[in-house]
A and B are shown apart, each in its own frame.
Chain A
């Protein structure tokens, strides 16, 4: 049985760039909001963009001398930031996710990660957020690359509140970081059913629900889907799930994951990332490393040429929906095929 789902009649691209309106900044652009707050308390913080200045409108207004535009030149931006960091500054680079980690992987590795410098790459427009702009503008391989960087925190916040909380947490460390921003995800924190406030520790996954039939781990926009799917499963199918906000992809919460997987024997991951190298791979590696017996499945993007369209329709197409997550969860618990 599949869930019925009525898509929005005519999905449109949403403008997620601008934070000019202060009232909407927190909701639309929490990463820009957060760095502005942080910079007020820490004069080491600088921001850089490679032609993405509109994501930092408020910051530029408040701290014009601490904003550095580097033009459409991402590789230079990362190495330049490493030079700033080597002189005591804490640079935050705001980049379109597709042109962030993917284009600058070697600069991030050699100049930032190997040298343990506190450069923070904030990837806006991750996953399929660029929608109909085309596959060149997708970032669905970024976590696979970023999590091979030994010293870099790889973080995917679930919503606006968690973005702010995680950015404040990162600011307390000296580590390099990649922060992968989901655009306009469902609100998870401070909203039903959990009404939880986001509370994070480095490398720990908040538990958003508890159950013995299944483990669901999700990051970014997947967390909202996982939470709602878990509620649906509990209400309609009597399936109770452990649900984790896997905001940390590196370091990740190996202990919590292994414990839950050992308990439930079934793990479903949810992410707007390729099936290769992301959270699904983290789970598979962990299950293997701990020699657990567990069935695994993924709600993720297939490792094939992807379709182009408005994000809402793409999510529908690839099952990145509450119904899609619930269906895979149900099949996993019942031992059936998901095809």
Chain B
């Protein structure tokens, strides 16, 4: 029988209880762990991981229906990291939820490690699809959403994309197919931090107006502040029913590249890919830790 993997008794249900403050702390914890893992590997994507920390925290600790004990459970919600270069921020979350032992993080970036700069579904439990080549995962997510419709399952497929990624033509092929097939169980979250690898996104190639573009492709568009946790929660809570919904949803999350660390916010481009010095790292950890303590 197709997809008969059973869940364990420890399913994490959708909308599980967590406070806004706890989610904010999780987002900062993702930032701290990112700094730690990048130091270990010697190079990494800081500022684009920081821009989506609230989104990832809200999804994994509140929104997604998951079963870390049965990563292949057929009815789980899917999460695809279209912007695969921010996997560094995902690894501590998946370990925290119990997909794999914490000590896997200690091998991050080493030869033979299941955890690398980009996620590999064949190596890391909890990764629903591999990514790295920008522009693919909205198509993959649409395929997964379609599979859910054919199999009459009620899961959702979430795809987190960058805004620069939307310059890839394949994204719009997928956008067309998703609305054509009325995939109301597909949710694209655009981490619209305004930058791609070499500069401001729309200086390289204009992608705005994003909301109007997705709307023109037949999507239900929600344009929000991607760092505001109550707004993120409310947006996810208002998604169409995954079984009866007829429109895919584009959440245009306006974010700041490097959000959560002053140095990155001032120079988001410089910290797209890099390595903090020991002194910078100490200061960065102190800044984020102080905020987390203040919020307690």
- A interface residues with partner B (beta carbon < 8 Å): 43-44, 46, 65-66, 68, 70-71, 73, 75-76, 78-89, 106-107, 110-111, 114-116
B92-100, B131-139, B233-241, B269-277 - interface stretch:
B131-139
Task: State the interface size on chain B (CB cutoff 8 A).
Answer: 34
Which of B17-25, B122-130, B198-206 is the interface stretch? B122-130
Complex CA–CA separation, A81 to B139 (angstroms): 8
Query: Mind listing 7 A-B residue pairs with CB under 8 Å?
Result: A68-B146, A76-B139, A76-B173, A83-B141, A86-B147, A88-B147, A115-B121
Knowing that A84-B144, A86-B147, A115-B122 are A-B contacts, what are 14 other residue pairs whose CB atoms are under 8 Å apart, sorted by A's residue number? A70-B173, A71-B180, A76-B139, A76-B142, A76-B174, A79-B136, A79-B174, A80-B140, A80-B174, A83-B144, A86-B128, A110-B132, A110-B136, A111-B130
Q: Tell me which residues from 137 to 157 in chain B have a Cβ below 8 Å from any Cβ of chain A.
A: 137, 139-148, 150-151, 157
Selected contact of B177 from candidates A76, A88, A89, CB within 8 Å = A76
Contact B129 A83 (CB under 8 A): yes
A79 cross-chain contacts in B, Cβ below 8 A: 136-137, 139-140, 143, 170, 174
Roughly how many angstroms separate A88 CA and B145 CA in the complex, as a whole number? 12
Given A71-B177, A86-B129, A115-B122, also A65-B139 (CB < 8 A): no
Question: B147, A115: Cβ atoms under 8 Å?
Answer: no
Would you give the 0/1 interface string for B83-122, flagging 1 where the beta carbon is closer than 8 Å to chain A?
Answer: 0000000000000000000000000000000000000111
- Does the CB pair A83–B147 fall under 8 Å? yes
A195, B158: Cα distance in complex, Å: 54
Please name all residues of chain A whose beta carbon is closer than 8 Å to the beta carbon of B144 when the two chains form the complex: 83-84, 86-87
Beta-carbon contact of B133 and A46 below 8 Å: no
Cβ–Cβ < 8 Å partners of A111 in chain B:
129-130, 136, 140
Given the known A-B contacts A88-B3, A88-B147, are A110 and B74 also in contact in the complex, defined by CB atoms under 8 Å? no
- Residues of B near A88 (CB, < 8 A) are 2-3, 74, 147, 151
A75 touches B2 (CB 8 A): no
- Bound complex: CA of A56 vs CA of B181, how far in Å? 19
Q: Provide the bound-state CA to CA distance between A116 and B120, in Å.
A: 12
Residue of B at shortest CB range from A68?
B146
Tell me which of A73, A75, A84, A116 contacts B146 (CB under 8 A). Answer: A84
B residues adjacent to A (C-beta < 8 A): 2-3, 74, 120-122, 128-130, 132-133, 136-137, 139-148, 150-151, 157, 169-170, 173-174, 176-177, 180-181
Q: Is the CB of A66 within 8 A of B150?
A: yes
Q: Is the CB of B170 within 8 A of A75?
A: yes
Residue of A nearest to B180 (CB): A71
Min CB distance A154 to B, Å, is 21
Beta-carbon contact of A89 and B140 below 8 Å: no
B149 to chain A, nearest CB (A): 10
Greatest chain A CB density within 10 A among B2, B151, B180 is at B2
**Which of B120, B143, B148 makes the CB contact (< 8 A) with A80?**
B143
- 3 nearest A-B pairs in the assembled complex, by CB-CB distance: A83-B143, A79-B139, A76-B173
- Chain A residues contacting B2 (CB-CB under 8 Å) are 43-44, 88-89
Q: How far apart sit A134 and B90, CA to CA, in the bound complex (Å)?
A: 48
Cα separation A60 to B3 with both chains bound (whole Å): 24
**B145 / chain A contacts, CB cutoff of 8 Å:** 83
Interface centre among A66, A78, A79 (most CB of B within 10 A): A79
User: Do A87 and B122 touch (CB < 8 A)?
Assistant: no
Name the CB-closest residue of B to A85.
B143
B3 in contact with A83 (CB, 8 Å):
no
CA gap between A212 and B186 in the complex, in Å: 61
Which B residues lie within 8 Å of A66 (CB)? 150
CB distance from A109 to the nearest CB of B (A): 9
Residue of B nearest to A75 (CB): B170
Contact status B136-A73, CB under 8 Å: no
**Residue of B at shortest CB range from A106?**
B133
Q: Judge whether A114 and B130 touch: CB under 8 Å.
A: yes
Interchain nearest-CB distance for B129 vs A (Å): 6
Report the bound CA distance from A70 to B175 in whole Å. 11
Question: How far, in whole Å, are A257 and B133 apart by their CA atoms in the complex?
Answer: 37
Report A-chain residues with C-beta under 8 Å of the C-beta of B169: 75
Q: Are A84 and B136 in contact (CB under 8 A)?
A: no
> A80-B140, A86-B121, A114-B130 are contacts. A75–B173 as well, Cβ < 8 Å?
yes
